[in-house]
Amino acid sequence: MRIGVLTGGGDCPGLNAVIRAVVRKAINDHGDTVVGFLDAWDGVLEMRSMELTVETMRGTLPHGGTILGTRRGSPYDTDGGPQRVREVMNIMSIDALIVIGGNGSLTVASRLHDEVGINVLGVPKTIDNDVEGTDVCFGFHTAVQTATDAIDRLHTTAESHDRIMVVEVMGRDTGWIATYAGIAGGATAVLIPERPFNIEYIAEAVKRKHARGKFASIVVVAEGAMPAEGTMPMPQYDLDPYGRHRLGGISVEVARELFQRTGFETRVVQIGHVQRGGTPAAFDRVLCTRLGVAAVTALHEGVEASMVAVKGDDIVTVPLHDMVGKTRYVDLSLYDNVATVFFG
């Protein structure tokens, strides 16, 4: 078999670990050849690629980012793009394409299978952890650890100055990182997109905590969190070239409102892309390795238009149709019954 691989969308710790596992399994166990497309779908459309061998992958397991490069955007943004993908697969004799990506890339993969007959197999990735059909996406646990490490450090400086620290983490549509890092980091409040927040309640929680003589409050805010209608000014965002809101900054508005309502000095920390960079945690390295191996096995078993996914302790395959158009939101029982117990 000749297998193509690409990484699409925002990068994420563990991408190289998946590619490495694909290459090892495909070459050593099946005698396949593997070609990596550079810069996601751009590399497919422009036929920019590199041959991937056991040697080229050496030493990449702990490296963050992706040796293939990644981009947002899709063949559907270009006239004749999907047909061009078909043509390139034929010219390069690619039998199957492994797409390592989040909701956007996996949806594109599903359409390319249905509309131009590409044999695709997905591997779900995103630190946001919001792909439907898998219990967890690789990269998420590394991002949570990075955010938690930052919160731990912020506790001591916040305590010394008796300040509120508003910590903004990634999470466009869902508050997975915020909820996990908030629980792990002992946050006074966690604001997530799934639950529009009332700033007045958050201010009350902070005041309650300070009234008990507890200094320092850490308020964790997912970048996509929104205030409940009419409670404070709604944040305004520009659009990026892909028509998505260019998020970032809700923490500034939350900090301003908290200062006005509590009088406590407030500081803002946006962790941003630090969460996406750097070496994957051991958990993610193992997960990525399992997913990469499973992707090659699935292709050789004739599985098509599916993604490898985590179900409990197992790696399974799930049809891409099951995830298209869906978002995996935070388990609200975790948020409502656990995280909120520690608010205030």
Q: Which residues bind ligand F6P (CB under 6 A)?
A: 10, 126-128, 170-172, 223, 247, 276
CA torsion through residues 114, 241, 65, 150, sign: negative
- Told to judge if 79 belongs to the known catalytic residues of this protein, a careful annotator would answer no
Whether the CB-CB separation of 40 and 69 falls below 8 Å is answered with yes
Pairing between β-strand 306-311 and β-strand 314-319 as defined by DSSP bridges: antiparallel
User: Which CB sits closer to ligand F6P, 195 or 276?
Assistant: 276
Catalytic residue among 11, 32, 128, 130: 128
List C-alpha distances in Å: 20 to 60, 63, 249.
7, 11, 36
User: Which CB sits closer to ligand F6P, 119 or 134?
Assistant: 134
Minimum Å gap between C-beta 25 and ligand F6P is: 26
User: Which CB sits closer to ligand F6P, 244 or 321?
Assistant: 244
Q: Which residue is nearest to ligand F6P (CB)?
A: 10
Minimum Å gap between C-beta 201 and ligand F6P is: 25
Minimum Å gap between C-beta 105 and ligand F6P is: 11
User: Which CB sits closer to ligand F6P, 126 or 146?
Assistant: 126
SS (H, E, C) 252-304: HHHHHHHHHHHCCCEEEEECHHHHCCCCCCHHHHHHHHHHHHHHHHHHHCCCC
From CA 283, how far away is CA 293, in angstroms rounded?
Answer: 16
Bridge partner list, 167: 220, 269
- DSSP secondary structure letter of residue 243: S
Minimum Å gap between C-beta 66 and ligand F6P is: 13
Query: Which residues are marked as active site?
Result: 128
